[in-house]
Amino acid sequence: MAAVIDATLKGASSNSYVTLAEANSYFETTPESSTWDDKTDDQKNRSLISATRWIDSLNFYGDRCSTSQALSWPRNNYHVDRIELVCDVIPAEIKYATYELARALANDPDAVTGNTGTEGIYDEVKLGELEVKYSKQSQAVGTINNVFDVTPGCSLTLVRTPSAAPAATKSVL
């Protein structure tokens, strides 16, 4: 059965932040549009729905605008850059994230989770007193290993495996 997009704002059965037409228009303005254009409409719809599900798994400030809405956005009761979130629009950044994640998923189903195996990038990740040691059997190149890449203002010490380069410090601003 073909995937069907429901991008109704505050809809009880919405499954995407964007429509296929919006995504196609967005990719008309990007240099790598061929990595989207070469997919069928069903592949694109499935990727948009999957991208929305992944984005919805994140925690956001503010409140859903309706208790019956299926998706996390739109939201209210929070300010971003001194602008209050409103209930009549999905922020452009959420739409852009949906487009780009959908394209990544359409081209590589493991784009978010990475592949599993015995080879990983780091044995340990330290942030001040916080320390994470990854299981060598589950290390991947997905979001878990890169979570600090999107955390503003963090100074992160990366401890590489013995076979890799020496330890490095990365400041993320």
* pLDDT single digits (tens) 44-63: 999 999 999 999 999 999 99
CA gyration radius for the chain? 19
Count of positions (residues) in the chain: 173
What dihedral angle (degrees, nearest 10) is formed by the CA atoms of 173, 91, 96, 49? 120
pLDDT at 125: 74
Residues 170/156, Cβ–Cβ less than 8 Å: yes
pLDDT at 154: 40
* Rounded-to-integer distance, Cα 113 and Cα 144, Å: 8
The pTM assigned to this predicted structure is 0.68
pLDDT at 87: 95
Tens digits of residue pLDDT in 135-154 = 555 544 444 334 333 334 44
pLDDT beyond 70 at 126? yes
User: Of the spans 29-43, 75-89, 158-172, which averages the highest pLDDT?
Assistant: 29-43
**Residues whose CB falls within 8 Å of the CB of residue 121, separated by 6 or more in sequence, listed in order:** 139, 141, 145, 160, 161, 164
